[in-house]
Copies of this chain bind each other. A is one copy, B any other.
Amino acid sequence: MAAPELEQLIGLLSKLPALGPRSARRAVLSLLRQKESKFVPLVTAMQTVLEKVDACPVCGNMDTLKPCAICQDEKRDKTLVCVVQDVADLWALERAGAFKGVYHVLGGVLSALDGIGPDELSIDGLIQKVAQGTVKEIVLALPATVEGQTTVHYLSDRLSEYDVNVSTLSRGVPVGGELDYLDDGTLQLAFKARRNV
């Protein structure tokens, strides 16, 4: 019953992940209440990102630079490539500061249910990088789900014909994890992969 311009904005916002029609409505009203302090900066920031940010042609990261800041960084080890599902995972690893090589964003994982096969993912680009011979190790940092692990097996199979070391993240008890709250699969894996103190 609001103006069509408002209904259209609410409709577009409610299609974003984590927002539904009710929270989109609340968000729009909160923006309208603080036009100068909230709405104007948000629209400006959106325009800037829309104009300047694009996928890096080398790794798939989202950045204002082409290639992205990580691919351009002289200090990063270009012989070490970490394969991630999407840009959100890349950012999570960067926040953790756990990795000093470069990345390759797959754009998803293999999923028969969702109809995602090897052709839907950026796998050829990864193979080409490896075929050039400069990459020494590929770290497959994919989710510990059935689809993620299927993708790990598929990729390690495809990469086996090249002279490159393929690794994956270790599994076990997360930092701060109470054993009582962990699932059976994680506990079994953590026991199998136990190590001397």
Report the Cα distance A87→B6, complex, angstroms. Answer: 12
Considering only CB atoms, which chain B residue lies closest to A23 in the complex?
Answer: B18
A15 to B45 CA separation, bound complex (whole angstroms): 14
- Number of copies of this kind of chain in the complex: 2
With most chain B CB atoms within 10 A of its CB, the pick from A38, A50, A69 is A50
Give chain B nearest CB distance to A50 CB in angstroms.
Answer: 5
The docked-state distance in angstroms from the alpha carbon of A46 to that of B87 is 25
Q: What band does the interface of chain A fall in when counting residues whose beta carbon is under 8 Å from B? A: 35 or more
Q: Looking at the assembled complex, report how far the CB atom of A28 sits from the nearest CB atom of chain B, in whole angstroms.
A: 7
Contact, CB under 8 Å: B88 / A52: no
Question: Does A41 touch B at the CB level, under 8 Å?
Answer: yes
A62 to chain B, nearest CB (A): 5
A3→B53 CA distance, assembly (Å): 8
A137 / chain B contacts, CB cutoff of 8 Å? none
* Minimum-distance CB pairs A-B, first 8: A18-B23, A1-B94, A9-B45, A16-B27, A3-B64, A12-B42, A17-B26, A9-B49
